Structure 1
Amino acid sequence: MIRLESIGKQNGKQIVFIEASAALQRGEKIGLVGPNGAGKTTLFRMITGEEPPDEGQVSTDRGVTIGYFSQDVGDMAGRSAVAEVMDGAGPVSEVAAELKALEAAMADPDQADRMDEIIARYGEVQGRFEELDGYALDGRAREVLAGLGFTPEMMEGDVGKLSGGWKMRVALARILLMRPDVMLLDEPSNHLDIESLIWLESFLKGFEGALMMTSHDREFMNRIVGKIIEIDGGSLTTYSGDYAFYEQQRALAEKQQQAQFERQQAMLAKEIAFIERFKARASHAAQVQSRVKKLDKIDRVEPPRRRQTVMFEFQPAPRSGEDVVSLKGVHKRYGSRTIYEGLDFQVRRRERWAIMGVNGAGKSTLLKLVAGATEPDDGTVALGASIKMGYFAQHAMELLDGEQTVFQWLEESFPQAGQGSLRALAGCFGFSGDDVEKRCRVLSGGEKARLVMARMLYDPPNFLVLDEPTNHLDMATKEMLIKALAGYEGTMLFVSHDRHFLAALSNRVLELTPEGIHAYGGGYIEYVARTGQEAPGLRS
């Protein structure tokens, strides 16, 4: 359906692709992977025709429709979420808009003298709407929006009043409703909670068209794709299998290439040593010449390109008392909405609680209560002895001084630390080389999150309270964080939509449901096994 043949592409001084080739066949589901800045978005833009390759060609079969979801959603305002989503479905959306306008005109007393004309036109437009299966489309649009977490009120409200994350969901819903022959999805799992993520996973598994997507969520990727295309060093390499299989194959290929490289280096060293030893002797001239010619003809094996993986290691955290935090008889309301009524909950040393619950269940509120960021209306929240808390939430990024550079901000936080130590810390969290000289105001959401987390973990607390710590993190940083936290000796209370993070780090689960609050001994894996669901309210 889509072929990339010997494409070359350069952005400024950066060479993105050199004679790279790949193909997307009908019905295939492909994961596109590669380090940040490798060219994943550039590849999508070349497939859609937004950007031409410098060399080679991108060809698409005649009549193939492509739906492209990117992180740049553009302006949305003035229409309901349902109307905005239906607009992606083509002509039917224009007919729906006219139908709505005619309905408003029929209810307008000022248009009474035109009523016959309006009713006649309404009949024509309604017939056209039915022809285009418009009523079913409206239902399908609502079904997709509900799957992505929208309430009926949000579906009817002005899309312009939604946050950036919810607008992303509207843009994604447009592509899903469109059902094109080929879907290109750039990070569709960003901004989704676990319930929406699982719904999307099920939708994409049942999608009959071809799919190419990027995602920082390995579990999500693993369950959907059957092929991986890797961008690395300007080339495209295809692996048959899911993400886990790709990781194994890549590691194996690197190991084999390293062994080949070392064997060849040993052979070359031997030949060069012979040449150096005998080049001055006339009796060995023919042999030396023969070996020099042989060396010139050898195809050199390159060593495998090393992915830069920097590991972060915790300094030992100070030991806390056995009782870390205790909530007794806690009541919390927002306006007329009751979040907690008489909540009792206790966290003990070295427990790692994952908080699960549908949107609005009170997950972030619980973390705010524990962290002291909000007060209970009634009841008590008491921290135990010798508790040093680290609280990470999305609002923490607002505390950055926009005029300071990354390095200045870390240096101000830790004036006693050496430059080398702070540069190593910055490197662990993805700020290598000149990146430490970036001003905080130009950082992306993901970079800000990494910087705030770097500061929090450098001088480690013994009690970590984390609200969606993996949002915006790429796979490599997420993996580094999971490995670092696996060796952490302190206590944790966290909310995450990343199932790999949940499975790797939790040893307790607190489930918030409308029917009540349930505590589970054992971590997320045991929770799934015992409940038969991956998130509250979702049966697997």
Structure 2
Amino acid sequence: MIRLDNISKQNGQQLLFIEASAALQRGEKIGLVGPNGAGKTTLFRMITGQEPPDEGLVMVDRGVSVGFFSQDVGEMSGRSAVAEVMDGAGDVSTVAAELVALEAAMADPDQLEKLDEIIERFGEVQGRFEALGGYALEGRAREVLAGLSFSQAMMDGDVGALSGGWKMRVALARILLMRPDVMLLDEPSNHLDLESLIWLENFLKGYDGALLMTSHDREFMNRIVNKVIEIDGGGLTSYNGNYEFYEQQRANAEKQQQAQFERQQAMLAKEINFIERFKARASHAAQVQSRVKKLDKIERVEPPKRRHSVTFEFQPAPRSGDDVVNLKGVHKRYGSRVIYEGLDLLVRRRERCCVMGINGAGKSTLLKLVTGNTAPDAGTITLGGSVKLGYFAQHAMELLDGERTVFQSLENQFPRASQGSLRSLAGCFGFSGDEVEKRCRVLSGGEKARLVMAMMLYDPPNFLVLDEPTNHLDMATKEMLVAALAQYEGTMLFVSHDRHFLAALSNRVLELTPEGIHQYDGGYTEYVARTGQEAPGLRN
């Protein structure tokens, strides 16, 4: 359906692709992987014709429809979320827009003299709308939006009033409703809660077209893709199987290449040693010449490319008391909406509590109450003895001083730390070399999240409160964070939609329900086994 034939592409001084080839066939669900900046988004833009390759061809079969979802969703306002989603469905959306305009015209007293003409046209347009399956389309649009956690009020309200994250869901819903022959999805799992993520996963499993997608959520990727294309060193390498199998294949290929390299190096050393020993002896001249020629003809095996991986180790945190935070009789409401009524909760030392609940259950509110970022309407919240609290939330990224560099931000936070230790810290969180001189205002969402995380963890608290800490983080940084937090000896209270993160780190689940908190000893994996569901909103 889509073929990339010997494409080359340069972005400034960076060579992204060098005579790279790949293909996307009907029924394939492909995960596109590679380090940040490798060219994943550029590849999408070349397939959609937004950018041409410098050399080579990008070929899309005649008549194949392509839908592209990217993080750059553009402006949306002036109509409902449902109308915005239906607008991506082709002719039927144009007819739907005319129907809405005619309905308004029929109710307009200034157009009374044209009413018969308007009613006649309305009948014609309504017939066309029915023939195109328009009424079924609206139902399907609402079904998709509901799957992405929209309430009826949000579906019918002005899309312009939604936040950036919700607008992204609208843009994603447009592509899903369109059901093109080929879907190109650039990070569709960003900004989704766990219920929406699992709904999208099931939708894509049942989608019978071809799919090419990127995602930083390994569990999401693992469950959907049946092939992986890796961008590495300007080339495109295909691996059959899911993401986990790709990792195994890649590791095995690296081991084999390393073994071949070492064998060849040993052979070369032996030959060179012979040549050096006997090159001055006339009796061995023919043998020496023969071996020199042999070495010239040997194709050298390259060592495998070493991926730059970072690790972070916590400094020992001071020990807290056994009771870390105690909530008694807590009431909290926003206007007429009751979030908590008489909430009691005790978190004890070394517990790693993941907070779960459907949209609006009060997950982030609980974290804000615990950290003192919002006050209860009634009841008490008490931190235990010697508790040193660290709080990560999305708004923390907005508090960075845009004019400071990454390094200046770290220096300002830790004025007594040595330059070497701060550079080492920056490197652990993906800021190596000149990247520490980037100003905060030009950092991406992922870079800001990494910087805030570094500032929080250098002088570690003994009670970490984390609200969606993996949003914006790439897989390598997530793996580093999971490995570091697995060694952390303090207490954690966190919200996350990343199932790998939840399973690796939690040892207690707090599920927020209208009846109160349901508590489960054991981590997320045990919770799934006991409830039979991966998220509270998926209960039968």
**TM-score, reference length from structure 1:** 0.99
| Preserved contact between residue 393 and residue 468 of structure 2 (Cα < 8 Å) | yes
Of the structure 1 ranges 81-90 and 512-521, higher mean CA displacement relative to structure 2 is found in: 512-521
Partner of 2:74: 74
Of the structure 1 ranges 55-64 and 355-364, higher mean CA displacement relative to structure 2 is found in: 55-64
Runs of 4+, deviation exceeding 3 Å: none
Of the structure 1 ranges 319-328 and 47-56, higher mean CA displacement relative to structure 2 is found in: 47-56
Secondary structure of the corresponding residue to residue 342 of structure 2: strand
CA shift at 1:285, angstroms?
A: 1.3
Partner of 2:453: 453
2-structure distance, mates of 1:97, 1:178: 17
CA shift at 1:531, angstroms?
A: 0.5
| Preserved contact between residue 17 and residue 234 of structure 2 (Cα < 8 Å) | yes
| Preserved contact between residue 148 and residue 196 of structure 2 (Cα < 8 Å) | yes
Secondary structure of the corresponding residue to residue 537 of structure 1: helix
Structure 1 segment 78-117 matched on structure 2, within 5 A: 78-117=78-117
2-structure distance, mates of 1:380, 1:256: 61
Partner of 1:242: 242
Structure 1 segment 357-372 matched on structure 2, within 5 A: 357-372=357-372
Partner of 2:175: 175
CA shift at 1:439, angstroms?
A: 0.5
Partner of 2:347: 347
Partner of 1:415: 415
Name the amino acid aligned to 1:419: Q
C-alpha distance after superposition, 1:53-105 (max 9, x if no partner): 12221111110000000111111111111111111011111110110111111
Matching of residue 438 in structure 1 with residue 438 in structure 2: yes
Of the structure 1 ranges 172-181 and 100-109, higher mean CA displacement relative to structure 2 is found in: 100-109
Name the amino acid aligned to 1:433: G
Secondary structure of the corresponding residue to residue 230 of structure 2: strand
1-structure distance, mates of 2:55, 2:445: 34
Partner of 1:405: 405
Of the structure 1 ranges 88-97 and 182-191, higher mean CA displacement relative to structure 2 is found in: 88-97
Matching of residue 35 in structure 1 with residue 35 in structure 2: yes
2-structure distance, mates of 1:242, 1:378: 50
Of the structure 1 ranges 37-46 and 462-471, higher mean CA displacement relative to structure 2 is found in: 37-46
2-structure distance, mates of 1:513, 1:274: 77
Partner of 1:212: 212
CA shift at 1:500, angstroms?
A: 0.3
RMSD: 0.9
Name the amino acid aligned to 1:426: A
Partner of 1:390: 390
Partner of 2:53: 53
Secondary structure of the corresponding residue to residue 538 of structure 2: coil
1-structure distance, mates of 2:272, 2:420: 40
Name the amino acid aligned to 1:66: V
CA shift at 1:304, angstroms?
A: 0.4
Number of aligned residue pairs: 540
Name the amino acid aligned to 1:174: R
Name the amino acid aligned to 2:431: F
Secondary structure of the corresponding residue to residue 88 of structure 1: helix
Partner of 1:6: 6
Of the structure 1 ranges 156-165 and 324-333, higher mean CA displacement relative to structure 2 is found in: 156-165
CA shift at 1:110, angstroms?
A: 2.0
Matching of residue 472 in structure 1 with residue 472 in structure 2: yes
CA shift at 1:516, angstroms?
A: 2.9
2-structure distance, mates of 1:289, 1:539: 77
Matching of residue 257 in structure 1 with residue 257 in structure 2: yes
Secondary structure of the corresponding residue to residue 451 of structure 2: helix
Partner of 1:25: 25
Partner of 1:284: 284
Partner of 1:495: 495
CA shift at 1:514, angstroms?
A: 2.4
Secondary structure of the corresponding residue to residue 6 of structure 1: strand
C-alpha distance after superposition, 1:285-304 (max 9, x if no partner): 11111111101100100000
Report the identity percentage: 84
CA shift at 1:539, angstroms?
A: 3.8
Partner of 2:528: 528
2-structure distance, mates of 1:259, 1:287: 28
Partner of 1:164: 164
C-alpha distance after superposition, 1:294-340 (max 9, x if no partner): 01100100000010001000001100010000000000011111100
Secondary structure of the corresponding residue to residue 343 of structure 1: strand
Secondary structure of the corresponding residue to residue 338 of structure 1: strand
CA shift at 1:430, angstroms?
A: 1.1
C-alpha distance after superposition, 1:415-466 (max 9, x if no partner): 2212121111111111111110000111111111110000101100000000
C-alpha distance after superposition, 1:252-275 (max 9, x if no partner): 111111111111111111111111
Structure 1 segment 119-158 matched on structure 2, within 5 A: 119-158=119-158
C-alpha distance after superposition, 1:492-537 (max 9, x if no partner): 0000000000000000000012233200000000000001111112
- Structure 1: gaps spanning 5 or more residues: none
Matching of residue 482 in structure 1 with residue 482 in structure 2: yes
CA shift at 1:11, angstroms?
A: 1.1
| Preserved contact between residue 343 and residue 516 of structure 2 (Cα < 8 Å) | no
Secondary structure of the corresponding residue to residue 533 of structure 2: coil
2-structure distance, mates of 1:504, 1:472: 19
2-structure distance, mates of 1:244, 1:233: 21
1-structure distance, mates of 2:29, 2:402: 41
| Preserved contact between residue 66 and residue 180 of structure 2 (Cα < 8 Å) | yes
Secondary structure of the corresponding residue to residue 211 of structure 1: strand
Structure 1 segment 188-199 matched on structure 2, within 5 A: 188-199=188-199
1-structure distance, mates of 2:50, 2:389: 48
Partner of 2:227: 227
C-alpha distance after superposition, 1:115-165 (max 9, x if no partner): 100100000100110111100111111111111111111111111111110
